[in-house]
Structure 1
């Protein structure tokens, strides 16, 4: 596509909308339908590859609608890729929450509503697949959604039914009725008499909600005066921009029903980029400023940094944050097209900013200010990974660095005790996608296994042991004699060493070597794990004026420690974590059973603050039981449950 075809017109204000919602709601179908309705249909791709891309990564598409430039962000629906969505919200002016009409699935919208509240982002709700409503009332869907949203949800449209099938809608503000026509604009029709009473009821409810923030409308409501469309348009727009209400529209993206009406609502009610910038605390004047919200390593194309430009403009080749921009791309109809410059309000991909991470603010000069950006969620699932060919170990390190740059909700740690590289993230699908990326993008095949549990040891009793190290090798030999006692300490007090040598039985210069060797010997006890919470006391010993040395006393100490620990009733300790499980309230009992079945001790539960209809369950659970907890938890909560954890204490390992 030529550069001019994707360049915003002079004076136009590019706006950005994120499509969010649970998997299966039809976000990607709506994304395609919106682009098609704007005259920029996305290209067809092989089904499997396209499905994978839609499910795990944010898609960006640019288009024009009625002369206005737009950027659409199709965000992943799986909870395991929710950080992609959170990052996209930081770049958007408004979000469209896409859902299906079933009240039973309303709880799946809770994470989306909460993310919008945290971001302070305006939103609309699009009830997709409305043609499947049948005789189900849209107010039942609204009530189920409202149970999980702290913002008031207001119906903007009510469905028209003919012979039990939804065939169109009435717009509550304009009081116009429309009949859907597949693949064509809706047909304006006379409002059916059968819907008049329901329309009046829903319109009155809309007016009452909007009157909470508008005195002029409140006066009309109190006087029982029917408000004109203009009386509703003005406060509705103001409330949407302020994030005070979320309007609810209906449609069926697959048939393109309601898509043009959604476009017109977006055109009227999405805040301008300068309004969003002001909400985020960005001054209108100053040097060019943008924020990176997504990073992608595009093979030979290098790194692409997706950014929202909040102020000024950026040219290809400009230096930002110490790096030179190596290409600027827009995505008309979802496909990349190079341009020479990008202006305020636009979302573009900037090339070759290798040192700029997601969340970074970029400027053309001076120190970049900080802007809010979501922190990655804590990992809930982990795998130890290893290359199938050891010569690939060096390449693996670089590939993992690039993976975590692309997806900060992945984290990589090294367990030196187990010799393992541990990859952690948001679930088995999330990590499976990461392993696939290693193979497809980096040519690295890895094996996976369950990570090692960091067991420890301690002792139940005190024990004393005498050890003598003597070796004659010609010339100076080695000699050291020690008597050590090991004793248990209270849990959590760690290692302690005490010297009780009297009368010079061991010269003072050798005592530090004994203490260091005792602490080193405790790193591997008789059961094969580090020993914790013990006190080591040096009671007696002997030395040789010529053959004694730090090395000799260290060797004798290790011998004494090995024997003493074996006699002191060693016991295995396992880490126990405090776990906080978040689930819809109708799944609270199932979550408690799941935790107790994994040797968990329930500490209590309560409603989660800021999450209407959701509970937090607190429990102490051995870390050994947490490896696949998230998989079973989600299987029992329609994929909605999650948890956080933190180390609490060590306890004697007892098994199931």
Structure 2
């Protein structure tokens, strides 16, 4: 039957190192948690001869490079790189997390890759999480193919799963998705795979790969599926010459079809569906592993087909478009930063232009947190370069444009920074990390942790741009913002394990403000005599509330010189300082007009300090005569959910004292966008609650919309608690 058996599964993989960008493929594996991405990486590594058996490299070290804590609940939480060699190509597989709490690692993987394999399970239907991840791929316009796994599971149906995948593209074109493979079953379990373009079958029945021609009884099914594939492929590639040949009944050779397939994938107009299975536990190759490696090399776009990246000079000036050229100026991006207990800081770097070599002097350029991009640069010398493979690091002589490599001991590099050559530092366009929206206040667990707390947290934030550290000046709390509870748990575990810092989490407090509910007047009087110069100052003020956002307005209405002119600024300074400190429980006082109407001074004992104190006393006296009203911050939310969750989201927002402003169709076709104003006190756990409400598919953004009066009943409870604490 024309059989051709692979003598050794890795024989074709042990070829020369990649010599240039044309010999590199950077492929991200995207998919929901549990879809089988990591198992697929292990199966491909086995087929490429990089491992002796699933999960175990030749020297006995493990393929997985995650810490034990990061394996909890069977989900990876970090982007991991597995470089393979196949048919003269270096294939960099970037395994991304499928859980929403670690979306920053997903974004980093999409930034580093030139193509993606979108992994779905035949054992479970396409859910909201899979569709959300597909939308993320669409936002980056990354070329991709789909891989169906778990074909050996009960009730698994490859063709039904492939049909369901036709609904993924947001443009609604079902012909953009078509199977490239057709699993062939024996005794109910798939043991072979038909490559439709070539009409060849890869048989994995005995654990090896045997290439043969299809059996006579299999040809009708293969030819029917092949015809549908070719029609979709020709339509999406817009190859008119091939269309004419096909309509004329001419046989289309496989090489021409593969060239059109590669062109359609690179354009982002066609998404073929492939099949794959894990490597058997007893040894042998996983179903479709060889075909998937060949597909990646022949049909997925390499770095040269990626659009040029934008780079601007650090010191200002023009902007350049950098192509993937090993001879061009060095421009590389730090896509991940981690800490190795033996090596120290390790940076995963994607080279977009030029060539990176050990001992090169480079500029590390990036934004300083809270400042304009490009506000930080320093020069460092590159340490060793390596290709990570699980727990093993293989030294690399260099990294050409298009490659991904690990760089050791870049002490100042943070995720998102740019590495460039000396002379004129460059700053590459960065990818926007998801905004952390879950706040948690932390405190040092013990005295020994206090000195190390700030440094440890700063290192965590430098490694992970989806975390944000905030020292809230109004509440005095140190707040760590994360993407979700799992993200927080892993962060605090790393903090303790890597940096020896242990913290306690405490309730997060939203900073409140105060104002007066009505106008009132009072006198501030300071009269002290204790030998020598005394202190004397009297001032009378009238306070009235202003509109939200007006701040503190001070008006001088003194007549007849009752308060000497040189002391009027002193009264204002004292009033403003007391307003900043608050008049009840340390909350700032805002939105008031303070009118200085009268006062008294002493020719000897009056002073700047005395009138500052009198102004502060007068404001405190006013607080005792008028009702103080609490103001709470309000956020404007935009919540993106599927149409089926809009009603539940609106009800939940109303229960949080929110005011829904309206709904509209999301611009990316992912459902609806609900806008609302919601008190920030009601949003502490909204990132977690929305995920539960929308089955993991909802997302939201927020912005400060101002302050509004707190309902009297809730304000009374807070003021009562203030008295208890006092």
Question: Could you tell me which of 27, 41, 49 is aligned with 2:37?
Answer: 27
CA distance in 2 between counterparts of 1:141 and 1:270 reads 19
SS state at 1:602 partner: strand
| Equivalent position to 1:175, from 196, 199, 211 | 199
Cα shift readout 1:157-215 (whole Å, capped 9, x = no counterpart): 23435565544443332233445436322663525647735752563254235324211
Partner of 1:282: 322
The answer as to 2:292 corresponding to 1:262 is yes
Partner of residue 247 from structure 1, selected from 228, 250, 272: 272
Structure 2 CA distance for aligned equivalents of residues 414 and 482 of structure 1: 37
The aligned counterpart of 2:411 is 354
What is aligned with 1:553? Answer: 611
Number of residue pairs the alignment of both structures matches: 651
What corresponds to 1:40 in structure 2?
A: 50
Q: Which of these residues, 664, 667, 681, is aligned with residue 609 of structure 1?
A: 667
Paired residue for 1:271?
A: 301
Alpha-carbon distance in structure 2 between the residues aligned to 1:47 and 1:589? 41
Q: 2:353 aligns with which of 295, 311, 318?
A: 311
Contact residue 527 and residue 570 of structure 1 kept, 8 A: no
Contact 1:469/1:481, CA 8 A, preserved across alignment:
yes
| Range that drifts further, 482-491 or 633-642 | 633-642
Alignment match, 1:422: 479
Contact 1:384/1:421 (<8 A) preserved: yes
Structure 1 unaligned segments of length 5 or more: list them.
none
Going from structure 1 to structure 2, the CA distance change for 1:148 and 1:238 (only over 3 Å counts) comes to closer
Distance between the aligned counterparts of 1:418 and 1:320, measured in 2? 42
Q: How many Å apart are 1:453 and its aligned residue?
A: 0.7
Q: Which residue of 2 aligns with 1:107?
A: 128
Q: Is the 8 A contact 1:154 1:206 kept in 2?
A: no
Change (3 A) 1:159 1:389: same
Q: Which moved more, 1:488-497 or 1:118-127?
A: 118-127
Residue pair 1:19, 1:96 contacting (<8 A) in 2 also: yes
Distance 1:267 1:210, change over 3 A: same
Shift in Å, 1:263: 0.8
Of 240, 261, 276, the residue aligned with 1:236 is: 261
Moved more, 98-107 or 483-492: 98-107
User: What is the correspondence of 1:377-396 to structure 2 with a 5 Å cutoff?
Assistant: 377-396=434-453
| Shift in alpha-carbon separation, 1:566–1:380, aligned structure 2, 3 A | same
Aligned alpha-carbon RMSD (Å): 2.7
| Aligned with residue 163 of structure 2, among 142, 149, 156 | 142
1:301 and 2:340 are equivalent in the alignment: no
Residues 276, 517 of structure 1: alpha-carbon distance in 2 compared, 3 angstrom cutoff: same
| 1:411-438 Cα shifts (integer Å, max 9, x gaps) | 0010122211100010111111111111
Q: Quote how far apart the aligned CAs of 1:20 are.
A: 1.6
Matched, 1:534 2:592: yes
Q: Distance in 2 between matches of 1:297 and 1:48?
A: 15
Q: What is the TM-score when the length of structure 1 is the normalising length? A: 0.92
- 1:442 aligns with 499
Distance 2:254 2:292 in 1: 18
Matches within 5 A, 1:489-528: 489-523=546-580, 524-526=582-584, 528=586
Q: What is the CA-CA distance between 1:503 and the residue it aligns to?
A: 0.8
Q: In the superposition, relative to structure 1, how do residues 347 and 592 fare at CA in structure 2: closer, same or farther (>3 Å)?
A: same
Q: Give the alignment partner of residue 140 of structure 2, picking from 119, 122, 129.
A: 119
Structure 1 residue 512: Cα displacement = 0.7
* Alignment TM-score, normalising by the size of structure 2: 0.84
Matched, 1:320 2:375: no
The correspondence for 1:335, drawn from 378, 381, 392, is 392
51-60 vs 239-248, which moves further: 51-60
- For 1:384-407, what per-residue CA distance to the aligned partner results, in whole angstroms no more than 9, with x for missing partners? 111112453332111111111110
